[in-house]
Structure 1
Amino acid sequence: MIHSFRNLRIAAKLLLTVLPLVAISVVGLFWGAEHWMQQQRLAELTNRVDAYAETQSALLVRHLWEFEEPTVVRLVNSS
């Protein structure tokens, strides 16, 4: 037995109109939160990579300058 929209009770009519809106709102909210968290994680990862690169460059530069110039040129050319 198929009921038309006019024959439904007021509670059913409200559910049919409100539930899709709630579902769309929840999907939008979770999508926005996920996008924001992804941007935060990407920024944190970039900061960690930058800090790691800075640390490594500081460690390598100190030891690199302990060599004399011909040794440095030989090491650079060999890689």
Structure 2
Amino acid sequence: MTVHAIHIFDRKGKTLFTKRYTTTKQQLMQDAEQVSEQRKLIFGMLFSLRELVGSLTPEGVASTSIEVKTGAGTLHCYETISGPSE
């Protein structure tokens, strides 16, 4: 499995950490606006999936891990109770 990027968000959607692992020069030349837009889209998708999983999960059971598989790749989301310390 290849890791393309790691994003860490706080509860409010602020990006705490981003690391991109790219292999082509074209990907390295992406401007900051495109990268920022990608972060917003990823956080929006994670927020929506968390709400969906929360509504489908039986009461009393907490899900801290979400995995989304598509034809293009896989997205893993792990949520801690306390969140990262600042």
If the length of structure 1 is used for normalisation, what is the TM-score? Answer: 0.37
Question: If each structure's helix is expressed as a fraction of its own residues, which one has the higher value?
Answer: 1
Larger relative contact order, structure 1 or 2 (CA cutoff 8 Å, min sep 6): 2
Q: Flag the structure with larger Rg.
A: 1
If the length of structure 2 is used for normalisation, what is the TM-score? Answer: 0.34
Question: If each structure's strand is expressed as a fraction of its own residues, which one has the higher value?
Answer: 2
